[in-house]
Each structure stands twice: as structure tokens, then as C-alpha cells.
Structure 1
Amino acid sequence: MPHLVILYTANLNFPTEEGGDMSGLCRALADTMIAQRDETDKPVFPVGGVRVLAYPAAHFAVADGSGDFGFIYLQLRMGRGRSEWVQQRVGAALVASAKECLAVLLTRQAVGVTLQIDVGAEVFDGKLGNLHPLFK
């Protein structure tokens, strides 16, 4: 972990000719997460643990339905142990990265964007795989 999940309305009008798309947003957010450092300049997240996944909502209702309104919900889940300062800094960096990636889209369509960071106690945290050793 950390895992950032993006849920978005399927009506987003990404400006293909000017660049910008959901895959690009995912990559930019992953890179932003990888770049984060804590108070002692150590990486906040292990590279092999960074995941950004995006899912379109085929069915949705946004606001009063009077326009082609879109919505993007970013939810970052991270394990405990990071300071409040780190959590706030990560949040601000992700919002800034999303703002940059979505700038053209936001000039073309009314879209709400929300980032929520959850830090919680795991009831069970099983892991399996061979990805982490690649980044040691």
C-alpha cells in the first residue's frame, strides 16, 4: 500500500488533441506519490507498493442533471505511521498534480474533483507477490 483509486463519470470529455487522459492522470499521480519525501527526506511510499487504478462509472447522476456534469473521486488509502504533516503534504501534492493534468478538461466541462485520504487500522493485511523486491 498506498493505493489510489479513481472513480469517475464516463462522460468526461478529455481533450484528445491537446493531450490529457485518464491513463496520463494515473501516471502523473503515481509519479507524484513516488516523489514524496517525509521530514527526514526518506521516501513516503515504497515504489513497489504504489498503485493507481481508475474505474469509470457507466451509470451516474451528478448535481441536478441540467448539464453534462462530470465527477472524479480520488481516494488514497495508506497504512498508519505517517505524520499529519506528511499526510497533508501528500494530499496537497496530489491535488496540485491533478489540477495540472485536468486543466484543459476543466476549461471544457463542469467537473467536480474530490481527493480523500484514508488512514486506517487494518483488520487483516495479507500480501502475496514478487513486485516489491524489484525496487529494493
Structure 2
Amino acid sequence: MPHITLDYSPNMEERTDIGGLCSRLRQAAAATGVFPLAGIRVRAFAASHVSIANGDPRHGYIDISIRLRDGRDMDTRKRAAGAVFDAARAFLEPAMQQHSIALSLEMRGIDPELSLKCGTIRDHMQKADP
């Protein structure tokens, strides 16, 4: 884990490469060494309707949510959150220079007793590794 979700205003698709941003955040999360590679998930969803600040439709936003299982100390979580945020900020810098954009990130814990899962990604990654 983590699960990284981007919620963004639809006008951001004209301003930046959302798919590229997802890839960059996946790379940044992996580079922290905090998250197991097979557990990293990044997805993005454009909001159907938005109203931002004074209502000017030129405003845009990207809100990043990181859901993470418990078990890492605060300093480790801060470092990982900072690394992902810094990667997003660097990626979006050209768009932020030209447009009104709000960027935010929040990391939240997942209660392991209420988080059920199964999967075969790790099995298939091992088969693909030389």
C-alpha cells in the first residue's frame, strides 16, 4: 500500500498530463523506500462539478489523498508525504506558472482490521522478474 488518489477539476486536463502525473507520483512513492512496490496504486478522477474560490471557472485544483496502513512512525509518514507532494509540485510547476491552481495532499491511515484485500500482483511480479 499506499493508495494514491487524485481528485481534480476537469480544466486540469487541458493544463497538464494527468496520466503522466500519476506515473510520476507512483515513481516518487516507490523511491521513498517506505511503500512496497506491489502495493502502490495511483488513480485520478475529474470532478463532474466544481466551484472554486470566487467562482471563476479558470481556477483549478488537484487534491491528492494517500491512504496508508498503520505501522509507520510519524517522521516516516511525513517524509513520504513530503516526497510525493514535492514530486507533484515539480511536475505541475509549468502549469502553476500559467494558471490559477490549488494543490493539496493529505495522508490518512487505514485501519487494518477493517481493510480486507486479496490479490495476485506480487505473484505475477515475481514471475516477470528476471
TM-score (norm 1): 0.85
2:18 paired with 1:22: yes
**CA deviations over 1:45-76 (Å, ceiling 9, x no partner):** 11111000000012111111135100110000
2:85 paired with 1:89: no
Q: Report how far residue 119 of structure 1 moved.
A: 1.2
Q: Which residue of 2 aligns with 1:41?
A: none
Q: Is 1:6–1:75's contact at 8 Å kept on the other side of the alignment?
A: yes
**CA deviations over 1:65-115 (Å, ceiling 9, x no partner):** 135100110000000001111101011111110111101110121000110
d(CA) in 1 for partners of 2:48, 2:98: 20
d(CA) in 2 for partners of 1:86, 1:32: 14
> How large is the RMSD of aligned CA atoms in angstroms?
1.4
Please, which runs of 5 or more residues in structure 2 have no aligned partner? none
Q: Is 1:47–1:135's contact at 8 Å kept on the other side of the alignment?
A: no
TM-score (norm 2): 0.89
Instruction: Give the match's secondary structure for 1:126.
Output: coil
Q: Is 2:51–2:57's contact at 8 Å kept on the other side of the alignment?
A: no
Q: 1:101 aligns with which of 66, 91, 95?
A: 91
Q: Report how far residue 133 of structure 1 moved.
A: 2.1
Task: Decide which structure has greater helix share.
Answer: 2
d(CA) in 2 for partners of 1:83, 1:95: 18
Which amino acid in structure 2 is aligned with residue 70 of structure 1?
G
Q: Report how far residue 30 of structure 1 moved.
A: 0.4
d(CA) in 1 for partners of 2:43, 2:95: 19
2:47 paired with 1:51: no
d(CA) in 1 for partners of 2:111, 2:91: 32
Which amino acid in structure 2 is aligned with residue 49 of structure 1?
G
